[in-house]
């Protein structure tokens, strides 16, 4: 069985974000990048499914050479090999085309992604890759289990849980609970140095969106502290100041 795990390199959640080029580009100077946390869950699930030689796990990333440390971490966690599409990830449309093109040429049985990346939170890649490959795709999966030649997936829906049985090949966007993220051990870190990391050229994709400008949220205002024994004052402020009641 061949599993492809899509990983993205994103700013650490503790990083202070600033922009450059008239607020049209992220200022990456001094930014610490990490494996997207949801993608780490997908990778942990793939490694779990591959234990005992049951599968081969490949990770794919769309990015420049600066993302290589992120990819090496994925190899240290347990992926067998990696591929980097040498291009800036312009948007989900562009990234999905690169992943689908590589997957089409290499016949993967299962493609796993995180539910979304924590930088753009678009939740689009899994669905786009499935559509481009003309195979089933499911996003925001809370449980993923291989059953013979089918994948059983649980999804939370309003008022309950949806259980799906999907034939392979398929694309699954995973969420929390599917697997526990793994911390690379020393053996994994050392072996990652010798695992293959192939670099491939990006395919041309017609652009259908462009970022005009980034804006940071408004700074939080001052906090008004109210004594616990004065609930009537809270009600008054919610009515006269916040105007929410």
Task: Note the pLDDT tens digit of each residue in 19-75.
Answer: 888 887 787 777 888 899 999 999 999 999 999 888 999 999 999 998 999 999 999
| Residues above pLDDT 70, as percent of the chain | 100
Q: What is the rounded CA–CA span in Å between residue 136 and residue 113?
A: 14
Instruction: Using the structure block, give the residue that is written with the tokens 């700013």.
Output: 11
Q: What is the rounded CA–CA span in Å between residue 71 and residue 88?
A: 15
Task: Write down the pLDDT at residue 3.
Answer: 95
- Cβ–Cβ under 8 Å, residues 81 and 195: yes
DSSP state of 67: G
- Cβ–Cβ under 8 Å, residues 7 and 60: yes
**The two structure tokens encoding residue 135:** 């195979």
SS3 137: strand
DSSP state of 138: E
Instruction: Using the structure block, give the residue that is written with the tokens 């008022």.
Output: 159
Dihedral Cα 122, 166, 98, 72, nearest 10 deg = 80
- Cβ–Cβ under 8 Å, residues 181 and 45: no
Instruction: Using the structure block, give the residue that is written with the tokens 């869950």.
Output: 41
Q: Which pTM was predicted? A: 0.84
Instruction: Tally Cβ neighbours within 10 Å of residue 236.
Output: 13
Domain ranges of the chain: 2-216
**The two structure tokens encoding residue 124:** 């689009």
Go through 30-63 and write b for each residue having 16 or more CB atoms within 10 A of its CB, e for each that does not.
eeebbbbebbbbbbbbbbbbbeeeebbbbbbbbb
| Kind plus residue range of the DSSP H or E element containing 46 | helix 37-50
SS3 184: coil
Task: Write down the pLDDT at residue 157.
Answer: 83
Task: Write down the pLDDT at residue 122.
Answer: 81
Rounded (5°) CA angle 120-184-118: 10
145-148, long-range: CB within 8 Å, 24+ apart, which pairs?
146/49, 146/110
Task: Write down the pLDDT at residue 188.
Answer: 87
Four-way CATH pick for 2-216: 2.70.98.60, 3.30.300.30, 3.40.50.620, 3.40.190.10: 3.40.50.620
Q: Is the pLDDT of residue 159 over 90?
A: no
Task: Note the pLDDT tens digit of each residue in 184-234.
Answer: 888 889 888 889 999 999 999 988 888 888 887 787 777 888 888 888 888
Task: Write down the pLDDT at residue 198.
Answer: 93
User: Average pLDDT for residues 100-123, to the nearest whole number?
Assistant: 90
């Amino acid at each position: 069985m061949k599993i492809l795990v899509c990983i993205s390199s994103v700013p650490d959640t503790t990083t202070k974000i600033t922009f450059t080029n008239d607020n049209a580009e992220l200022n990456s100077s001094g930014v610490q990048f990490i494996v997207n946390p949801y993608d780490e869950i997908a990778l942990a699930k793939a490694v779990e499914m591959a234990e005992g030689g049951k599968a081969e796990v490949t990770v794919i990333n769309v990015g420049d050479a600066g993302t290589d440390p992120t990819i090496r971490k994925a190899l240290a966690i347990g992926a067998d090999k990696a591929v980097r599409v040498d291009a800036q990830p312009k948007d989900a449309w562009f990234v999905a085309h690169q992943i689908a093109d590589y997957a089409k040429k290499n016949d993967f049985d299962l493609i796993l992604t995180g539910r979304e990346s924590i930088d753009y939170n678009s939740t689009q890649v899994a669905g786009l890759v499935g559509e481009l490959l003309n195979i089933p795709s499911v996003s925001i999966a809370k449980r993923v289990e291989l059953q013979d030649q089918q994948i059983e997936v649980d999804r939370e829906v309003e008022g309950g849980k949806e259980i799906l049985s999907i034939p392979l090949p398929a694309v699954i966007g995973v969420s929390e609970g599917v697997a526990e993220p793994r911390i690379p051990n020393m053996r994994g870190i050392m072996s990652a140095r010798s695992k293959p990391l192939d670099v491939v050229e990006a395919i041309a994709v017609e652009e259908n969106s462009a970022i005009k400008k980034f804006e940071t949220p408004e700074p939080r205002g001052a906090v008004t502290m109210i004594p616990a024994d004065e609930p009537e004052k809270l009600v008054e402020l919610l009515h006269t100041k916040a105007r929410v009641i």
